[in-house]
A = this chain, B = another copy of it.
């Protein structure tokens, strides 16, 4: 019975402040209410529950920023693990990262990585995503392992964030710095959904190199 589908939900009690505000308003305006036609609506917690509990399972701004940050840290982690511990460790870590940060459990992820081409552009399966990050899959012969390229820093510059209940989408630039100090900038869209334990997962990921006019 340890099922825990929506565990980390915020219990937001800010409604109390609103209720207090209503009461203050009421007190201040009370004199004018001494006359006939007393018409008022008061919103307050039930007497037996000292404060109104509000459970809001909608995604918050900070959850979105945390989820973005987790992706950046995961990329750097795979790169440093590869450099320090080798391919097997990097591969194991990449699987863990994909299972924790992406939503392939849902049946598909709409993933367009930066450097894929042709019929293998879209990596809607976990297998396709793993190959993109660490290579070594003969089904995807052009993959050389994007996460193995010595990445050391990820900077996310959001152009905007859209939140709609249990899903949120971000768009902006992401600057990825490798161990030589070289910076690669991409245009990136992520859509997250709130999944197991209230954690966000990537359900859509569209990354592309900036357009350069010829």
CB distance from A95 to the nearest CB of B (A): 7
User: Using a Cβ–Cβ cut-off of 8 Å, how many residues does chain A contribute to the interface with B?
Assistant: 109
Q: Specify which of B6, B52, B73, B118 is in contact with A159 (CB 8 Å cutoff).
A: B52
Interface, chain A (partner B; CB < 8 A) = 1, 3-7, 9-12, 14-15, 18-19, 22, 37-49, 52-59, 61-62, 64-65, 68-69, 71-73, 76-77, 80, 95-96, 99-100, 103, 105-108, 110, 112, 114-122, 124, 142, 152-167, 169-173, 187, 189, 191, 193, 195-197, 199, 201, 203-204, 206, 208-213
- Whole-angstrom CA separation of A132 from B97 in the bound complex: 37
Q: How far is the CA of A38 from the CA of B180 in the complex (A)?
A: 11
CA separation between A30 and B197, bound complex, in Å?
32
Q: Please give, as numbers and ranges, the residues of chain B lying within 8 Å of A38 by CB-CB distance.
A: 152-153
- Asked if B12 and A61 make an inter-chain contact with CB atoms under 8 angstroms apart, the answer reads yes
Identify A11's interface contact among B107, B116, B187, CB under 8 A. B107
Which of B72, B73, B164, B171 is in CB contact (< 8 Å) with A167? B164
Q: Cα distance A52–B42 when bound, in Å?
A: 36
From residue A71, how far is it (CB to closest CB) to chain B in Å?
8
Judge whether A160 and B3 touch: CB under 8 Å.
no
Q: Would you call B212 and A6 a contact (CB within 8 A)? A: no
Is A65 touching B39 in the complex (CB atoms < 8 A)? no
